[in-house]
A and B are shown apart, each in its own frame.
Chain A
Amino acid sequence: MVPYLAQAGAEATVSTGEAVAFWILGPLTLLGALGMIFARNAVHSALWLVLTMLSLGMLYLIQNAPFLGFTQIIVYTGAIMMLFLFVLMLVGRESSDSVVEVLRGQRLAAAVLGVGVAGVLAGALTRAVADVTPAQPLNPWTAEGGGAGGLGRMIFSDYLFPFELTSALLITAGMGAMVLAFTERHSKAGKRSQRELVEARFRGEYERPSPKPGPGVFATANSVATPALLPDGSVAPESLSELIESTSAAKLDTARKQVAGEASTPDAHALVGPDKEGETAE
């Protein structure tokens, strides 16, 4: 509070602290912007931009606009850049930019617009340096001095229509993105839910209502290589794996006997069980 009081009456000048902060943050902001352009990796590029956003937020804080500064940090650095990063990560780290021009005349338009923006910026900067009276320092504790209360009052009274217009635009964009992203999954030909799949199976759209039998279902082993045996002792074809060579049919004699109920029952007095499948085959 005391620094504001000292400045309030006097001519608005740049204090030493503000100058020091500016000469640290200004080059950092510029460095971030340049780094963003020249970084090879997309994620590094995004990180340089984060540095720029953070430094800008700090500059706002130094100039007695804490609400604006923290909003800049939360919204731009915290939310928007995080979404950028999110997308870049999903794209993958090895992917590089394509140099093929997708939109016709893109480069020409970009060059013209870039020169235009540079001209506007140069004009504004010249005016700012030449003839602008420095503003009185604001007092962020009051609504008039850039406090959250004054800002809220302005948004919901004087600028209500532009505010609502912006929100309508954003909602439209959000809805559009959702509709475009979700059509494929939720159309008729899309992925079926578990319930729909069950009903379709029972309606007869699939060859059988139940899942296919796993290998070894009726046999004596749980190996993938052991095919399932049907009650008559034949091999169930759908249980054969496409990738793995199955056990040869000659080795399945014992299993066939068991399925048919002809296998010898274990002797209650014997210390060992009945012969293993492999042993009989050999």
Chain B
Amino acid sequence: MIPFLAQAQDPMTRAELIADDPLWLILLKAVVILLLGPILTIFLIVWERKAVGRMQNRPGPNRVGPGGYLQSLADALKLPFKEQVIPETADRKVYFLAPVIAAVPALIGLAAIPFGPEVTIFGERTALQLIELPVSVLLVLAGASIGVYGIVLAGWSSGSPYPLLGGLRSAAQVISYEIAMGLAIVSVVLYAQSLATSAIVDAQQSGWYFYLLFPSFLIYLISMVGETNRAPFDLPEAESELVGGFHTEYSSMKFAMFFLAEYVNMVIVSAFATTLFLGGYLFPFVGADSPLNQGWLPVLWFFAKMFVLLFGFIWLRGTLPRFRYDQFMKLGWKVLVPAALVWVVMIAAIRAIRNDGNVSTGQILVIGGIVIVVIVLLSLLLPEKKVPDEDSVPVTGGGYPVPPLNLKVPETTPRRKALQAKAKAARKQEPAALASTKEGSNHGDV
């Protein structure tokens, strides 16, 4: 307790500052964060439709409001008033519960994201973050893992095969990609030496983690697309295979809640990536004392970075075709997870050596170089290729039996050779006029 009491004499830390908020400020922040999700969803839908429209050489929505930008607002007003269709075979209680379970955890996740540094709101000093926990990173992950229940239960309770398949796919997909995502976050936590989001942002003042920990960033980016069920990984709602996937049987407001959950999840993973890898609310190349990193300006930097990532989502959807399910699982388990594990071990080793203090960067590089050379030399020892079995039929060209590429086509067949020899012999014996007619008939036969 003593170090902890001594800490209180220092200027207030961020956590103390947030804990010190009066009730009205907490409520204000909570309402803003709660509204942020739906507002960004409405904007994102219309932005996505217009951006994808541009990519496909068509205008996109252009009727409602200036430039068509109010289209999703109109859709959002219309959806709750549509008829609710509930399937006869549905498990009604779970069917009603599923959209709520999908949407609520999604809205909670934004609470742990630091949107900006210390500011003054109506004369009250506070930090732009709703809650600050020593483990805020886990709060976001927990929200994501609860949110899957919504999708899985929606698929099961609809009582028809396509939603069930969508729900099963989704469960497998999110669990697999959460592992890769968690492992990508581990290296960030090891580098920042904290699980608190604001501490991770502060630790990035000397350099953003997206280039310091590039493999982690790459793995996170891929797994965040998988985690949010977005194209090219939108297998749970693949319309060409599963009609609408888990939400096939949903309509009206309940369908709108699934939509809300999907887009808020996109916002959360993007905000989380901004916090973990892109320096959060920090402006690049200037210290935390710079006026660019004080007051309300950093909120702008935060949202700019987040929108770049969100545009990445839209861009992916406009560009890439959907993965096949087994390829997708192979990517997750055989590429991302092992790569993340190896990388975490490397990071842990580097941190352990660095913390030791006796080793310089030059020595690390030399040892690393030696290790790489040894690995390359060892890889040369591996046998080149598996020798095929003795009685196997040689197969070329994509697994189908086709003639080898260097096949020599004989110019003459034995039969034709024999016929030609016979004709030659006959020509010697018979008169010239007769021989020519016989040769012609022979050629006709061949």
Measured between beta carbons, the chain B residues less than 8 angstroms from A74 are: 138, 141-142, 145
Task: Report how far A1 CA is from B132 CA in the complex, Å.
Answer: 10
Chain B residues near A149: list those with CB within 8 A: 193
In chain A, residues 190-233, which have Cβ atoms closer than 8 Å to a Cβ of chain B? 194-195, 198-199, 202-203, 209
Render A180-192 as a binary contact track against B, CB cut-off 8 A, 1 for contact.
0000000000000
User: Please, which residue of chain A has its CB at the minimum distance from the CB of B189?
Assistant: A148
Answer yes or no: B403 CB below 8 A from chain A CBs.
no
Does B444 have its Cβ within 8 Å of any Cβ on chain A? no
CB of B257 closer than 8 Å to a CB of A = no
**CB–CB B16/A2 < 8 A:** yes
CB distance from A277 to the nearest CB of B (A): 34
B416 nearest CB across to chain A (Å): 24
For the complex, is B133 an interface residue (Cβ under 8 Å from A)?
yes
Closest residue of chain B to A68, judged by CB? B135
Q: Which of B365-402 contact A (CB under 8 A)?
A: 391-393, 395, 399-401
Chain B residues near A67 (CB-CB < 8 A)? 134-135, 138, 195
Q: Is the CB of B146 within 8 A of A77?
A: yes
A86 at the interface (CB under 8 A from B): yes
Contacts of A90 in B (CB 8 A): 168
Q: Does A140 contact B (CB under 8 A)?
A: yes
A89→B149 CA distance, assembly (Å): 13
Contacts known (A44-B94, A86-B171); A73 close to B145, Cβ less than 8 A = yes
Q: Which residues of A contact B175 (CB under 8 A)?
A: 79, 82-83
Question: What's the Cα separation between A2 and B15 when bound, in Å?
Answer: 10
Chain A positions 1 through 19: 1 when the CB is less than 8 Å from some CB of chain B, otherwise 0: 1111100100000000000
Given known pairs A79-B175, A89-B156, A198-B395, the reply for A141 and B15 (CB within 8 Å) is: yes
A261 to B270, CA, bound (A): 69
Chain B residues with Cβ below 8 Å from A194 are: 399
B1 touches which of A44, A47, A86, A136 (Cβ 8 Å): A136
Per-residue A-contact encoding for B165-178, CB less than 8 Å = 1, 0 else: 00110011001001
Closest B residue to A44 using CB positions: B94
CA distance A90 to B135 in the complex (A): 35
Chain A nearest CB, measured from B106 CB (Å):
14
Contacts of B8 in A (CB 8 A): 1, 5
Q: Which of A50, A83, A198 contacts B401 (CB 8 A)?
A: A198
| Contact, CB under 8 Å: A2 / B146 | no
Q: Are B19 and A2 in contact (CB-based, < 8 A)? A: yes
Q: Which of A66, A83, A202, A203 contacts B133 (CB 8 A)?
A: A66
What range describes how many residues of A lie at the interface? Answer: 35 or more
Residues of the A chain whose Cβ atoms lie less than 8 Å from the Cβ of B141: 70, 74, 78
* In contact, A89 and B168 (Cβ under 8 angstroms): yes
- B residues less than 8 Å from A147 (CB atoms): 134
Q: How far is the CA of A78 from the CA of B150 in the complex (A)?
A: 12
A71 close to B156 (CB less than 8 A): no
- Is the C-beta of A107 less than 8 angstroms from some C-beta in chain B? no
A66 touches B134 (CB 8 A): yes
Tell whether, in the assembled complex, residue B146 and residue A78 are in contact, meaning their CB atoms are under 8 Å apart.
yes
- Measured between beta carbons, the chain A residues less than 8 angstroms from B391 are 203
| A142 contacts the other chain (CB 8 A) | yes
B269 at the binding interface (Cβ < 8 Å): no
Q: Judge if B81 is at the interface, Cβ distance under 8 Å.
A: no
In the complex, residue of chain B having the shortest beta-carbon distance to the beta carbon of A57: B142
Chain B: minimal CB distance from A152 (Å): 10
Give min CB distance, B352 to chain A, whole Å. 11
B148 adjacent to A82 (CB under 8 Å): yes
Q: Is A139 close to B, CB under 8 A? A: yes
The answer to the question of B113 belonging to the interface, with a C-beta cut-off of 8 Å to chain A, is: no
CB < 8 Å A-B pair total: 118
Provide the bound-state CA to CA distance between A142 and B15, in Å: 13
How many residues on the B side are at the interface (Cβ–Cβ under 8 A)?
45
Option from A50, A93, A209 in Cβ contact (under 8 Å) with B149: A50
Q: Which residues of A contact B164 (CB under 8 A)?
A: 89
Contact of A141 among B134, B152, B155 (CB under 8 A): B134
In angstroms, Cα B167 to Cα A70, docked, is 24
Chain A residues with Cβ under 8 A from B146's Cβ?
54, 73, 77-78
Contact A82 B134 (CB under 8 A): no
In contact, A148 and B134 (Cβ under 8 angstroms): yes
Tell whether A259 is near chain B: CB-to-CB under 8 Å: no
Residue A33 at the B interface, CB < 8 A? Answer: no
Residue of A nearest to B14 (CB): A1
Q: A85 in the interface, Cβ–Cβ < 8 Å?
A: yes
Report Cα–Cα, A30/B195, bound state, in Å. Answer: 32
Residue A56 CB within 8 A of the other chain: no
Q: Say how far A192's CB is from chain B's closest CB, in angstroms.
A: 12
Minimal Cβ-Cβ distance residue in B for A72: B142
Q: Is the CB of B171 within 8 A of A140?
A: no
> Is A43 interfacial (CB-CB < 8 Å)?
yes
CB nearest to A61 among chain B residues: B133
Nearest CB of A to B445, in Å: 19
**Which residues of B sit under 8 angstroms from A148, Cβ to Cβ?**
134-135, 195
User: CA of A73 to CA of B159 in the docked complex: distance in angstroms?
Assistant: 28
Chain B residues positioned under 8 Å from A5 (CB to CB): 5, 8
Which B1-35 residues sit within 8 Å CB-CB of chain A? 1, 3-5, 8, 13, 15-16, 19-20
Report if B91 contacts A (CB, 8 A). yes
Bound-state CA distance A148–B172 (Å) is: 28
A82 to B142, CA, bound (A): 13
Q: With a CB–CB cut-off of 8 A, which chain A residues contact B5?
A: 5, 8
Pick the contact of B20 from A2, A203, A209 — CB < 8 Å? A2
Complex contact A86–B94 (CB within 8 A): no
| Residue from the set A136, A139, A199 with the largest chain B CB neighbour count within 10 Å | A199
> B19 — which chain A residues lie within 8 A by C-beta?
1-3
Bound: A136/B153 CA distance, A: 41
Set of chain B residues within 8 Å of A82, measured between Cβ atoms: 145, 148-149, 152, 171, 175
Residues of A within 8 A of B15 (CB): 1, 141
Q: Mind listing 13 A-B residue pairs with CB under 8 Å?
A: A1-B15, A2-B19, A8-B1, A43-B156, A44-B93, A47-B94, A66-B133, A70-B138, A74-B138, A78-B145, A89-B167, A141-B4, A194-B399
Q: 13 new A-B pairs (CB below 8 Å) besides A1-B15, A2-B20?
A: A1-B16, A8-B5, A44-B94, A66-B134, A67-B138, A67-B195, A70-B139, A77-B142, A79-B178, A85-B156, A86-B168, A140-B133, A203-B393
7 closest A-B pairs by beta carbon, nearest first, are A78-B145, A70-B138, A1-B16, A73-B142, A202-B393, A140-B134, A1-B19
Listed in ascending order, the chain B residues whose CB lies under 8 Å from chain A are 1, 3-5, 8, 13, 15-16, 19-20, 91, 93-94, 133-135, 138-139, 141-142, 145-146, 148-149, 152-153, 155-156, 159, 164, 167-168, 171-172, 175, 178, 193, 195, 391-393, 395, 399-401
